[in-house]
């Protein structure tokens, strides 16, 4: 048994087992090298102690670096599936089960709900807006309003009579064509308004209909003022009517009361280009 001072371990190491009686420290200008056959197994006791690795593969925060990875970490293991660095504000077009590459513009179509209605590139959306193909249904109702208006001049309508008012005309007539005017562009009527300055006759309603092409549009703007209704503003904010370029418009007023109607002052309607 050779003492430690002369290169031994201080312990009988028969049967190819090296047993140390204390800590083994290597000093000098050279690092120790251990030649381990490929079929060998390193066995460390589990009873305690710490195995510390240092070097390029483990950083100061004990994190494994790319040196240990033969390929980019997949999505299923929390990686990005690529070794490329992503710029700020980049969309990732993948979910947990996807193998598609991240998109630099927006999520992949498969990852969008209602993809059929919204799955397109930014370039396509920009082209749609610049060429005017964005549907009118995507615009708020207040966009592009043209206001069509007139004034009844505080006129009343006789019991059981039907008269017509026109744009900018302060008088009525029983001949509709004398008050109708053509529209220069196609649009949709909405938001019909009227103001009365006296009480409606107790005998029946006063009905104002916005007419298109000398005919009452089916389901179009209609204001019905009940019998005995006091002076004030009335409106139909629900019904609409579509006008084609060149079609005539006017207001039809029918008094179903037993006496003269309420006085009709201003009226107006919005027209949204189609």
Mean of pLDDT values over 232-259: 93
46: in domain? no
194, part of any domain = yes
How much is the pLDDT for 50?
A: 64
73 Cβ contact list (under 8 Å, min separation 6):
79, 80, 81
pLDDT band per the 50, 70, 90 thresholds, residue 28? confident
Given a cut of 80, is residue 145 above it in pLDDT? no
Residue 250 forms part of a structural domain: yes
Comparing 58 with 238, which gets the higher pLDDT? 238
> Mean pLDDT: which of 25-29, 35-39, 108-112, 234-238 is highest?
234-238
* Residue from 174, 154, 194 nearest 254 by CA: 174
CATH of the domain at 257: 2.60.120
* 223 located within any domain: yes
Phi-psi region of 16 (alpha: psi -120 to 50; beta: other; left: phi over 0): left
Task: Tell me what pLDDT residue 112 has.
Answer: 44
Per residue in 90-99, pLDDT tens?
Answer: 445 445 445 5
Query: What pLDDT was estimated at residue 192?
Result: 94
What are 210-223's pLDDT values in tens digits?
Answer: 999 988 887 789 99
pLDDT of residue 115: 46
Is residue 267 in some structural domain? yes
Q: How confident is the model at residue 135 (pLDDT cuts 50, 70, 90)?
A: low
- Asked if 232 and 184 count as a contact pair (C-beta separation under 8 A), the reply is no
pLDDT at 120: 52
Q: Is 261 in contact with 123 (CB distance < 8 Å)?
A: no
pLDDT-derived band at 57, boundaries 50, 70, 90: low
**Regarding predicted confidence, which is higher, 2 or 262?**
262
Q: Specify the pLDDT at position 218.
A: 75
For residue 244, what are the CA distances in angstroms to 104, 139, 209, 274? Answer: 44, 20, 18, 9
- The mean pLDDT value of the chain amounts to 76
Please write the tens of the pLDDT for every residue from 151-187: 989 999 999 999 999 988 788 999 999 999 999 989 9
Number of structural domains in the chain: 1
Do the domain assignments include residue 38? no
Residue 261 is assigned to a structural domain of this protein: yes
- Asked if residue 127 has pLDDT above 70, the reply is no
Read off the pLDDT of residues 69-84 as tens digits, 9 standing for 90 and up: 667 777 677 676 676 6
pLDDT at position 5 over 80: no
**Percent of the chain at pLDDT exceeding 90:** 36
What pLDDT sits at residue 117?
46
Say if CB 167 and CB 186 are below 8 A apart: no
Q: Is residue 157 part of a domain?
A: yes
Residue 87 has pLDDT above 70, yes or no: no
Domain that holds residue 250: 146-273
Does the pLDDT value for residue 258 go beyond 90? yes
pLDDT of residue 4: 64
Alpha carbons within 13 A on the beta-carbon side of 65 = 10
């Amino acid at each position: 048994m050779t003492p430690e001072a002369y290169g031994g371990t201080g312990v009988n190491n028969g049967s190819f087992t090296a047993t140390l009686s204390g800590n083994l420290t290597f000093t000098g200008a050279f690092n120790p090298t251990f030649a381990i056959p490929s079929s060998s197994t390193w066995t460390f006791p589990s009873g305690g102690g710490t195995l510390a690795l240092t070097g390029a593969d483990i950083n100061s925060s004990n994190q494994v670096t790319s040196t240990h990875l033969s390929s980019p970490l997949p999505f299923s293991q929390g990686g990005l599936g690529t070794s490329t660095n992503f710029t700020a504000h980049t969309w990732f077009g993948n979910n947990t089960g996807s193998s598609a590459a991240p998109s630099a513009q927006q999520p992949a179509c498969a990852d969008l709900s209602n993809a059929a209605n919204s799955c397109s590139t930014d370039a396509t959306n920009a082209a749609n807006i610049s060429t005017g193909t964005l549907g009118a249904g995507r615009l708020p109702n207040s966009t592009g309003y043209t206001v069509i208006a007139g004034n009844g001049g505080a006129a009343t309508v006789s019991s059981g009579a039907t008269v017509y008012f026109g744009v900018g005309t302060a008088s009525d007539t029983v001949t509709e064509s004398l008050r109708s005017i053509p529209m220069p562009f196609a649009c949709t009527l909405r938001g019909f308004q009227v103001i009365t300055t006296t009480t409606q006759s107790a005998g029946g309603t006063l009905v104002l209909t916005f007419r298109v092409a000398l005919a009452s549009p089916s389901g179009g703007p209609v204001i019905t003022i009940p019998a005995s209704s006091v002076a004030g503003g009335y409106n139909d904010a629900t019904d609409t009517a579509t006008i084609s370029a060149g079609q005539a418009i006017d207001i039809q007023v029918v008094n179903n009361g037993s006496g003269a109607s309420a006085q009709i002052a201003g009226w107006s309607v919005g027209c949204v280009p189609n």
